[in-house]
Amino acid sequence: MPIDVVMPQMGESIMEGTITRWLKQPGDRVEKDEPLFEISTDKVDAEIPSTVAGILAEIRFPVGSTLAVNTVVAVIADTDSAPVSAPIAARASTPAPAASAPPVPAPPVRDAAPKPQIPSQISASRIAPAVAAAAPPGPARPIRSSPLVRRMAKEHGIDLAEVPGSGSAGRITRDDVRHYLSQPAAVPPSTARPTRPAARPPLPNPSDLPAEPVPLTRMRAIIAQRMSESMATSPHAHLVYRVDMTRIARQRERERAGFESRHGVKLTFMPFVATAAIEALRRFPIVNASLREGAIQYHRNIHLGIAVALEWGLIVPVVTSAEGRSFADLARSMTDLAERARTRKLSPDEASGSTFTLTNSGVFGDEFGTPVINQPESAIMAIGSLRKEPAVLTDAEGNDTIAIRSMQHFCLGFDHRLIDGADAGKFMADFKQTLESWDREIV
């Protein structure tokens, strides 16, 4: 009996989605819970798994179609003998049934995604053949993995063709990579820790760039709209503080192995920064507030947004009620949300409702950034890169010495309608003091 596959409703306020990729073609076998297609909505990009096992008999809408929720987008047959329709590209001249998706004029944020053969955002990593593939070409079996898994493989010099996959249809998971790395012979010493930086990829050929304008993807269009709205809504002001992170850097180096063994996640600097920010927000709740219809809305909970840069855009997953979480719970939650954002596993509820956001632009090497406020919040903090620098230290007797310290810049962007410079300065001074005087155990 044929089973209809519909455009899912990815959140209470989300009424449509755009198909960005078909992971199966008519005639392919589909297992239950195996990813079938990818969609983009106002909140998240996500892989949509099949609810049943069977044969994909028909794809009704091509990539780029923006459809109302519950629209039938494909049909799965429960037997191998079911008729299979021609690929949708071969019957593009046949119009879709009017009842399934009535044509409506699309506003700018609903621009259809670009055709598959034209990249939506051009970058050297997408154009240069040496970098585009995360694993060597020509494996004996098809390699199914997420962007996170491919990045892990690249960092550790692993050929994914050699990693057994335990996921659906042999999909390689991050646990499979971790298990592979735990084997003594998994990573040869010569590739585990390169003695010098890897060679930069070759310059892309300008002729590989599309000659015609490339339409914005749905996510890029939404980002453009929201950034413009934020700049038009909030008079932005910024404060930059330089923080001595030496105590934290030393503690992290001492405890990183034990922490990962106990909690299953790497010990990064983010939970330290998040803890200091949460404590400062509790002392200065105006920084965690919102301006609504001429009144100040104070938030009793701190819902901490963590900006995650994706290959196809930017998303802000949210650690809810962060003020009640332990250090380890913060570390686990941030790692989990970031990984699921990169693998399109977030639900819309996990990417909305934040009251304050952290954005780590320092991972790209910059000193600091001047971030745009994530509406309807009133403040956002950008984290700069951590660098060892000479610094002047003054002892209790007033004697000055020069020492090598681990220094980091933090920039608070705030809505000057609601937050005065004095309040922003007090908040940042408290944040700085917590990090520089860090003396607590992490468990």
List the catalytic residues: 416, 420
DSSP summary character for residue 172? B
- What separation in angstroms does the CA of 28 have from each of 2, 25, 41, 54? 15, 6, 26, 9
Pairing of strands 72-77, 54-59: antiparallel
Q: Angle at Cα 61 formed by Cα 60 and Cα 63, nearest 5°?
A: 145
In the numeric block, which tokens belong to residue 377? 């919040």
Q: Angle at Cα 285 formed by Cα 284 and Cα 287, nearest 5°?
A: 80
Residue carrying the six token digits 């989990």: 336
Phi-psi region of 385 (alpha: psi -120 to 50; beta: other; left: phi over 0): beta
* Burial tier of 238 (Cβ tally within 10 Å: 0-12, 13-18, 19+): middle
Rounded CA gap, 349 and 302, in Å?
16
- Map residue 300 onto helix, strand or coil: coil
Rounded CA gap, 285 and 214, in Å?
43
CB 421 within 8 A of CB 241: no
DSSP H helices in 239-324: 246-263, 270-283
